[in-house]
Amino acid sequence: MLSSSQGKLVRNGEGKKSVIWLEGNIASGKTTCLEYFSKTSDIEVLTEPVSKWRNVQGCNPLGLMYQDPSRWGLTLQTYVQLTMLDRHVLPMASPIRMMERSIYSAKYIFVENLYKSGKMPEVDFAVLSEWFEWIVKNIAIPVDLIVYLQTSPQTCYERLKQRCREEEKVIPLEYIESIHNLYEDWLIHHKSFEVPAPVLVMPADHDLKKMLHQFEENREKILMANC
């Protein structure tokens, strides 16, 4: 249930629980990482609601956006903002929540990329920005730790091709490079936007075996996020 605290809407009784956001480029391995941690008791994992972005009442805003970003970028990102907010305010079922991306990266990375690359009209960017500012001012979006899967754009591009999601077949390497640069400016160089929690950087170009080993090595740091 939501109640009001210091002028913001907050979820009740979740002060001691911890929330981790898993951030990274497209096909960097976030879902794979979440699958690994989902086997741990006391952790609930929330994946990105991509299936909704591919099918809202029979329409596919993700596919439309990749076909014509100038026309459909606002449509997709409005829906991403709504569905991510829905994830953030969902009552916690376990003491630890790991969730894939956040309403912050939706705005700071993906909306920013559309706008900076000239594919989002100024008015669309202004409307999304005002919505975002209103949401973070009025609704508590808890986060204790950001885990950043740091990859090279080339690695993501190869994994993306291998995953072969229909809508993403049109994505060029340059798109992945732009997303990479925005993530690095935000979470590593602190050059763009405020970072709302400490960042744990995990190099993620490695093969699966080494990645699983690295997840295990970082388990304590992740589980103790709010201590």
Ligand X SMILES: Nc1ncnc2c1ncn2[C@@H]1O[C@H](COP(=O)(O)OP(=O)(O)O)[C@@H](O)[C@H]1O
Ligand Y SMILES: Nc1ccn([C@H]2C[C@H](O)[C@@H](COP(=O)(O)O)O2)c(=O)n1
* Residues labelled catalytic: 100
Span 146-185, contacts to ligand X by CB under 6 A:
159, 162-163
24 assigned binding-site residue: yes
The stretch among 5-13, 77-85, 111-119, 200-208 that binds ligand X (CB under 6 A) is 200-208
Summarize as ranges the residues that interact with ligand Y (CB under 6 A): 26-27, 30, 48, 50, 62, 76, 80, 106, 110, 168
Q: How far is CA 106 from CA 3, 74, 133, 213, 223, in A?
A: 25, 12, 13, 29, 25
- Strand runs (DSSP E) across the chain, as ranges? 2-5, 8-11, 18-24, 43-46, 96-100, 145-150, 199-203
161 is in an annotated binding site: yes
Closer to ligand X by CB, 48 or 124: give it. Answer: 48
- The nearer residue to ligand X, 135 or 150, going by C-beta atoms, is 150
In whole angstroms, the minimum distance from the beta carbon of 27 to ligand Y comes to: 6
Residue 98 Cβ, how far from ligand X at the closest point, in Å? Answer: 12
Q: How far is the CB of 147 from ligand Y (least distance, A)?
A: 14
Site string for ligand X, 14-43 (x = CB under 6 A): ----------x-xxxxxxx-----------
Which residues have CB under 8 Å from 51's CB, separation 6+?
none
Q: Is 63 flagged in the annotation as binding?
A: no
State yes or no: 210 annotated in a binding site: no
Q: Is 26 annotated as a binding residue?
A: yes
CB within 8 Å of 22: residues ≥ 6 apart: 30, 33, 34, 98, 99, 100, 101, 147, 149
And the tokens for 39? 């086997």
Q: Which DSSP string do the residues of 50-73 spell out, in sequence order?
A: HHHHH-BTTB-HHHHHHH-HHHHH
Question: What residue numbers does the annotated binding site cover?
Answer: 24-32, 159-163
Question: What residue numbers does the annotated binding site for ATP cover?
Answer: 24-32, 159-163
Give the footprint of ligand X on this chain (CB under 6 A). 24, 26-32, 159, 162-163, 206-208, 211
